[in-house]
Structure 1
Amino acid sequence: MPIIVLLSTTLVLAFSSLVALFPAAIAPELSGVLGVSSATIGLQVSLIFAGAMLTSLVGGPLTRRLGPCRTSQLSLALLGGGAAMMAMPTLPTFALASLVAGLGYGMTNPAASVLLVRFTPPERRGLIFSVKQSGVPLGGVIAGASAPVLALVVGWQAGLLLLSAIALLGIVALQWRRESWDDQRDPDTSWLATPFSGLDVVWRQRSLRYVALLSLCFSAIQLSVSAFTVALLVEDLDFGLVEAGLVMSGVQVTGVVGRIGWGEIGDRLGDRLMALAIIACTTAVAALLVATMTPAWPKWLVIVLLGLLSFSSLGWNGVFLAEITQLAPPHRIADAAGGCLVFTYGGVLLGLPMVTLLHSVVGDYTSVFAILAGISVAGLWLIHQARRARCMDRIS
């Protein structure tokens, strides 16, 4: 049962990431169709996470009402519907579709947290949550490898419609586990009456508050790296579109390895905040190195450094979510996860527009990666504050 739960939650998250990053992987192609810049296409990810923020507000009570399995099915339905709407080649429809897909994205982690806490031992949660969170870079791998090829072979619209078909298959596959996974649901839970209950749980407990703010910083870095890697390679470093897509897939693979590795490190250290501090330092160094890249650099070195940045900047999520389950009251884990993820998605909403604005000012992507290093250093201060607050929470 734990293996099936882990596989199911990982695949649902991978699909949500695939839908979110599919347009970014073909940004130069879409920019011509929609009549906007490739950087503007990257803002589509911000719209997805705006929708995710809305459903994160009610993720805890909604999961209690529907059950984690039915919530995951609803998530897939919204993601698949959003992908189908994105196939309509108009900018307003594309923007609305991104918001709809985001509503589905926001339901994935509260539901998965309930299932994983129920079926996995506390001392292995860092690794288990990290394996599940590896679905995010795994979705990026699939997007980078498939989206440019599909765009050239069958067209980008057919590729998006294929995602809708995959969502339908996922809904059907989950149905056979619904009875056993949703046996603890409470149909009388009012999920709209207290939309800010998760935020209240997070803000009242100082350690959760600082961890939530840390996720805002880390998510801004992570999605900036994922959303603009192809554009960075094509526009600044003279890579071809398909070549850049393959590089994106490769560096996302290092993100998958990083998530699993950092989860294991956090469990072995017995201090997941220390693991997050090491991640912050590695990310800062890697981002500064990327900021110095030029087209004269050997392509293998570009790939290695982007892999290092991906290994760290995409590796934090499982450690973060496992720490939430340790800090949160046992009966409010879904609420705490949803509340913290509001801040996480807020980092995407702030980070991607910031990178887009900086790109419009300086004219290249490499220069703005230096600011990501600064954000990572700010994360170190938040980790320090979280450690102090955690100690005080335990004393009290």
Structure 2
Amino acid sequence: MTNKHSWQALTVFTLSYIFAALAANSIGPLAPFLQEELGFTKGNIGLFTASIYLAAALSGIPSGWLADHLGVRKALVIGLVIQAILTCGLLTGLLPWMLLFMFLSGIGYGVVNPATGKGVMVWFSSTLRGTAMAVKQSGFTLGGVLAGVILPPIAVLFGWQKSILTAVGLLFLGAFIAYIFCPTKQDEFIQNKTENENKPNSSNSQPSSWDRKAIIFWSIIMIFFAAVQQAGTTFLVIYLVEKIGYTRVAAGMFFFLALVSG
């Protein structure tokens, strides 16, 4: 059982993840523009994806600590603002600086998933957490979808810099929405239920060795899954433009279809 604040919180979490993922996935759809105007190679483009996700991975545990000690709303706002400010560094147009700012923006991006994940754990009972987590995680895919749909047309009409500024503006919008609409006090029923669920008992107070091994196993599997996924999304648009002959906007639509199809 949940209340209206639970679904309000889930909406905030999903929107935040959409905006964060849009900015994080912006380089793939914009790759042909960066190649044409800045002379970047495919290897250079790949470094952008590696930079932001390396930073997100390194900041994962500290980000979880931040969410635990500052609360979900504060951590979420901080993460989105950091990502927004540092994404502006891409406007320099200089490869070393762009890679540095992309890496640093990944620190902010790395806060979003732990913060929203904890929010789902707090606001939803065990019977609905899986569904709520799935909705929240769909924000990552939707963010990539929007990146493929809106960023290339903006780049064609106004330049790739305006596409980056659009992503930055959406990050600030996400931070504003999180600050204004993210609930900060749990409904009494949910709070009591969460406390009851977390009470230790003789059967499940400690995870078994199998539980730990399963977590490690799936973490390793996800490394390879994420590597294949990011390689595909990073270079798909370049391939379609250079090898197949599609326009940059049409290639962006295929980027959209690739993410929608999973």
TM over 0.5: yes
Answering whether residue 234 of structure 2 is matched by residue 227 of structure 1, we say yes
Shift of 1:16: 1.5
| Distance 1:179-1:234 versus aligned 2 partners, 3 A rule | closer
Partner of 1:238: 245
CA distance in 2, matches of 1:178, 1:129: 16
CA distance in 2, matches of 1:124, 1:244: 38
- The answer on whether the counterparts of 1:25 and 1:147 sit within 8 Å (CA) in structure 2 is yes
Percent of matched pairs sharing the same residue: 29
- The answer on whether the counterparts of 1:47 and 1:102 sit within 8 Å (CA) in structure 2 is yes
Counterparts of residues 131-280 of structure 1 (less than 5 Å): 131-177=135-181, 180-181=184-185, 205-254=212-261
| Distance 1:126-1:157 versus aligned 2 partners, 3 A rule | same
Partner of 2:96: 92
CA distance in 1, matches of 2:127, 2:118: 16
- The answer on whether the counterparts of 2:9 and 2:183 sit within 8 Å (CA) in structure 1 is no
- The answer on whether the counterparts of 1:39 and 1:228 sit within 8 Å (CA) in structure 2 is no
- The answer on whether the counterparts of 1:50 and 1:102 sit within 8 Å (CA) in structure 2 is yes
Counterparts of residues 348-363 of structure 1 (less than 5 Å): none
Partner of 1:42: 46
Number of residue pairs matched by the alignment? 238
Shift of 1:127: 2.5
Answering whether residue 84 of structure 2 is matched by residue 80 of structure 1, we say yes
Shift of 1:134: 1.0
| Distance 1:132-1:53 versus aligned 2 partners, 3 A rule | same
Shift of 1:204: 9.3
| Distance 1:38-1:147 versus aligned 2 partners, 3 A rule | farther
CA distance in 2, matches of 1:206, 1:50: 24
RMSD: 2.3
- The answer on whether the counterparts of 1:31 and 1:37 sit within 8 Å (CA) in structure 2 is yes
CA distance in 1, matches of 2:57, 2:257: 29
- Pick which of 17-26 and 162-171 moved more: 162-171
Partner of 2:6: 2
Deviations 1:335-381 (A, max 9, x none): xxxxxxxxxxxxxxxxxxxxxxxxxxxxxxxxxxxxxxxxxxxxxxx
CA distance in 2, matches of 1:213, 1:243: 35
Task: Report the TM-score, using the length of structure 1 for normalisation.
Answer: 0.56
Shift of 1:77: 0.7
CA distance in 1, matches of 2:169, 2:157: 18
CA distance in 2, matches of 1:6, 1:106: 18
- The answer on whether the counterparts of 1:47 and 1:99 sit within 8 Å (CA) in structure 2 is yes
Structure 2 unmatched ranges of 5 or more: 192-208
| Distance 1:182-1:36 versus aligned 2 partners, 3 A rule | farther
State the AA in 1 paired with 2:18: A
SS of the equivalent of 2:127 reads: helix
Shift of 1:39: 4.2
SS of the equivalent of 2:150 reads: helix
Q: Which fold has the larger relative contact order, with Cα–Cα distance below 8 Å and residues 6 or more apart in sequence?
A: 2
Answering whether residue 64 of structure 2 is matched by residue 60 of structure 1, we say yes
State the AA in 1 paired with 2:142: L
| Distance 1:158-1:181 versus aligned 2 partners, 3 A rule | farther
CA distance in 1, matches of 2:183, 2:32: 45
Shift of 1:151: 0.8
- The answer on whether the counterparts of 1:67 and 1:181 sit within 8 Å (CA) in structure 2 is no
State the AA in 2 paired with 1:82: L
Answering whether residue 26 of structure 2 is matched by residue 22 of structure 1, we say yes
Structure 1 unmatched ranges of 5 or more: 185-201, 255-310, 312-396
**Which of residues 101, 108, 112 is equivalent to 1:104?**
108
- The answer on whether the counterparts of 2:27 and 2:234 sit within 8 Å (CA) in structure 1 is no
